[in-house]
Amino acid sequence: MRLAAVVLAAGMSSRMGANKLLLKVGDRRVIEHILFSLKPIETTVVTGHRPEEIRDIAESLGAETVHNPDYEEGMTTSFQAGLRTLDPEVDAVFMVLSDTFGFSTELLEWMADKMEDDPETLIVSPVYQWKRGHPVLFRRPLFEEFLGLEAGETMRDVVNRHEDRHKYVESDIWCRIDLDTPEDYERVKALWSERQVS
């Protein structure tokens, strides 16, 4: 199964007051954590607000970038922009949010295995304490459905329509991390420090 990843890096990080992808956690910036975890999956980073801040870093780490001029309309437009760049041979894509950075390559492998084991599975999500997290893996038959979303519809609508073909993989707290405010950032840095010494 050929995999790709689309990283949604177009937001304004308005509540943080700074681009969350450029914040350092440990010895790497958030965008670097994400892209190192995604290697060797072919990855597209979707930029929006101040794209030059992300583009050079992403491309230096081997990712492709695409700019979403409609980023202010929400993350659905960014995912659509990323989907349009994918090779027709890609079978499934990981959608990665900009604050989802602590996941392991092993988690991605487990998710891909779960999808590959059952041809009927369209979506695989990690879960922590019975709550869904990210990244989420979508099989190709859903790509056109995402691209065809109309005004007022969201990616969640697609997921809800296919819950009967949605599988789950147990993960850890990092699939549920929010990095929206300075307070979140301090909490995440503390969690990362604990992870490094455990």
Position 13 scores a pLDDT of: 66
Tokens of 62: 């081997």
Least confident interval from 45-54, 59-68, 90-99:
45-54
Q: Which amino acid is at 24?
A: K
Name the residue ranges covered by the structural domains of the chain.
Answer: 3-197
Beta strand pairing call for 136-139 and 123-128: antiparallel
Position 101 scores a pLDDT of: 85
Position 105 scores a pLDDT of: 92
Fold type of domain 3-197: Spore Coat Polysaccharide Biosynthesis Protein SpsA; Chain A (3.90.550)
Reported as a single tens digit per residue, the pLDDT across 132-190 is 999 999 999 999 999 999 878 899 999 999 999 999 999 999 999 888 889 999 999 99
- Single out the residue of 100, 71, 95 nearest to residue 179, CA to CA: 100
Tokens of 64: 């492709």
Report the pLDDT averaged over residues 6-11.
Answer: 91
Query: Cα(123)–Cα(121) distance, rounded to whole angstroms?
Result: 6
The answer to whether 44 and 78 have CB atoms below 8 angstroms apart is: no
Query: Cα(33)–Cα(25) distance, rounded to whole angstroms?
Result: 9
197 pLDDT exceeds 70?
A: no
Reported as a single tens digit per residue, the pLDDT across 86-142 is 999 999 999 999 888 889 999 999 999 999 999 999 999 999 999 999 999 999 999
